[in-house]
Structure 1
Amino acid sequence: MGQGKLWSKEEIDFLQERWGSVSIKRIAKNLNRTTNAVKTKAQRIGLGDARTHYDGITAYQLSLALNVSYSTIKSWIDKHDFPVKQKLFAEKERVNVVSYDDFWKWAENHKQMIDFSKVEPLILGAEPEWVEVKRGADKIRKKNVSPWTKEEENKLRGMVNSYQYTYPEIAKALGRTEGAIKRRLKELDIKARPLRLSNHVKYTSKEVETIVDLYNKGYSLEVISERVGKSALGVRGKLERMGYSFRNGVPFHNDNKKAL
Structure 2
Amino acid sequence: MAKHWTKDEVSYLEEHWGTKSIRAIAAHLDRKVNSVQQKAVRMELGDARFNYPGITLCQLAKALDKTYTALKPWIEKYGMPVRTKIFCKTRRVRVIDFEDFWKWAEQHKELVNFAKLEPNILGAEPEWAKVKRRADLMRSQKTWQAVDWTPEEDQRLVQVLQTRGMTYPEVAKLFDRSEASVKRKLHDLGVKVRPARLDNHVKYTQDDVNKLLRMAQEGYSYETIGQALGKSALGVRGKLERMGFDFKRRKLREVVK
Tell me what 1:159 maps to: 160
Tell me what 2:18 maps to: 20
Moved over 6 A (4+): none
Cα distance, 1:95–1:66 mapped onto 2, change above 3 Å: same
Q: 1:71 aligns with which of 65, 69, 72?
A: 69
> What is the CA–CA distance in structure 2 between the aligned matches of 1:140 and 1:154, rounded to whole Å?
29
- Contact 1:161–1:193 (Cα < 8 Å) also in 2: no
* Structure 1 spans left out of the alignment, 5+ residues: none
Q: 2:106 aligns with which of 108, 115, 122?
A: 108
Q: 1:55 aligns with which of 32, 35, 53?
A: 53
Q: 2:39 aligns with which of 38, 41, 47?
A: 41
Q: 1:117 aligns with which of 112, 115, 122?
A: 115
Residue 118 of structure 1 aligns with an amino acid whose one-letter code is K
> What is the CA–CA distance in structure 2 between the aligned matches of 1:114 and 1:187, rounded to whole Å?
30
Secondary structure at the aligned position of 2:161 is classed as helix
> What is the CA–CA distance in structure 2 between the aligned matches of 1:159 and 1:250, rounded to whole Å?
38
- Contact 1:20–1:53 (Cα < 8 Å) also in 2: yes
Secondary structure at the aligned position of 1:92 is classed as coil
Residue 97 of structure 1 aligns with an amino acid whose one-letter code is V
Deviation at 1:71, TM superposition (A): 2.4
Residue 229 of structure 1 aligns with an amino acid whose one-letter code is G
TM-score under structure 1 length normalisation: 0.84
Comparing 77-86 and 3-12, the one that deviates more: 3-12
* Structure 2 spans left out of the alignment, 5+ residues: none
Q: Is 2:235 the counterpart of 1:237?
A: no
Cα distance, 1:6–1:256 mapped onto 2, change above 3 Å: farther
Comparing 12-21 and 79-88, the one that deviates more: 79-88
**Count of aligned residue pairs for this structure pair:** 253
Q: Residues 51-102 of structure 1: CA distance to partner in whole angstroms, max 9, x if unpaired?
A: 1000111111111112222223221111212122222211212222122222
Deviation at 1:50, TM superposition (A): 0.6
